[in-house]
Amino acid sequence: MTWLITGGAGYIGGHVTQQLVEAGEQVVVLDDLSSGAAERLPAGVPLVVGSTLDRAALDRAIGEHGVTGVLHIAAKKQVGESVTEPLRYYQENVEGLRVVLEAAAAAGVSRVLFSSSAAVYGMPDVELVTEDTPCEPINPYGETKLVGEWLINAAAKAHGLSTVSLRYFNVAGAASPELSDEGVTNLVPMVFERLTAGRAPRVFGADYPTPDGTCVRDFIHVADIASAHVAAVKRLNAATEQVNLTLNIGRGEGVSVQEMLAVIGRVTGYDTTAEVTPRRPGDPARVVASADLIHKELDWTARYEVEAMVASAWDGWCARHPEARRRA
């Protein structure tokens, strides 16, 4: 069996590709390298440079490598950017997925694993978010992920596909410095960037109905994200009947922004006293996963604690910004 991994040279995709190879799976990667890097791929992994909108590239990758399953990670993922560029996000995330499914169905590929997001839930007013919590996304990015799940489910019914959709919560960390997140759109690298520049980290609102007034999130190590994909691939490979699952990937534990800043301070040695700024529109007070269903269905549980996430992310940041460690 061979799996096509779209976006497999990106931050999350690189970790997934590495762990699948280590698990003995045959893989081929399709990536347009707009945010990915060929250097992230393990030696010997074939790379087809192309977009998910490029049917010819998809057909070539599937046909030449005997693909039997598709793991679709490639997507645009910046919430703020999705608000200002919704047409681009729908084109890349929804139309891109449609083309991938079309190519898969035409080639008789029967297994699809989809990278979704907790953004599909919007602002849930619950202690723990289960897979049955109503989906009410509040930005175009979350909308595209929810539409993607609908599209996956419709294709499964029409073409007899076995599918798993994995809803990521807040990803952090790195398995190794060379696989670390090069972007600065997530909380941890955003704080690193400001500390390295000699500026205080920013907290967007400290008056939420939470124990310390800052937002509470479920942070998950990217290596745990990758291991969940491996578990899902193995479930799909072993299936003798049609499988259709939608699962959260989280730790089931809430960490506030203020608590995360304290961890970052301990790991880096910097003063992480924050500058409090007004709330960002649409930020829910608390979003924490229930991880019971993924444990039941895939026998998967997150392994890494928050300190390990931050320490691994800091190692990756300092590998690219050596001056950061010297300033601490």
Considering the domain architecture, whether residues 110 and 245 belong to the same structural domain is answered as yes
CATH number, domain with residue 133: 3.40.50.720
Kindly report, residue by residue over 93-119, the tens digit of the pLDDT.
999 999 999 999 999 999 999 999 999
**Pick from 228, 249, 270: which residue ends a domain?**
249
For 68-84, what is each residue's pLDDT tens digit?
999 999 999 988 899 99
Looking at the structure, tell me whether residues 155 and 212 fall in a common domain.
no
Catalytic option among 141, 168, 208, 270? 141
Contact criterion met (CB below 8 Å) for 215 and 208: yes
CA dihedral 141, 146, 147, 152 (to 10 degrees): 130
Residue in this structure with the two tokens 């604690």, named with its chain if needed: 305
Do 66 and 189 reside in the same domain of the chain?
no
- What's the pLDDT band for 268 if we cut at 50, 70, 90? very high
Q: Are residues 139 and 280 in the same domain?
A: no
Q: Which pLDDT score, from 0 to 100, does residue 328 have?
A: 60
Residues 12 and 33 in one domain: yes
* Residue 30 host element (H or E): strand 26-31
**Does 90 qualify as catalytic in the annotation?**
no
Best CA proximity match to 60, nearest among 68, 50, 45, 70: 50
Same domain, 114 and 156: yes
The tally of domains found in the chain comes to 2
How far apart, in whole angstroms, are the C-alpha atoms of residue 189 and residue 317?
8
23 and 39 both lie in a single domain: yes
Q: Are residues 101 and 208 in the same domain?
A: no
Sheet containing strand 216-217, strands side by side: 255-256, 216-217, 286-287
Q: Do residue 166 and residue 144 come from a single domain?
A: yes
Global pTM? 0.95
**For residue 148, what pLDDT band results from cuts at 50, 70 and 90?**
very high
Domain with 194, as residue range(s), is: 172-217+251-327
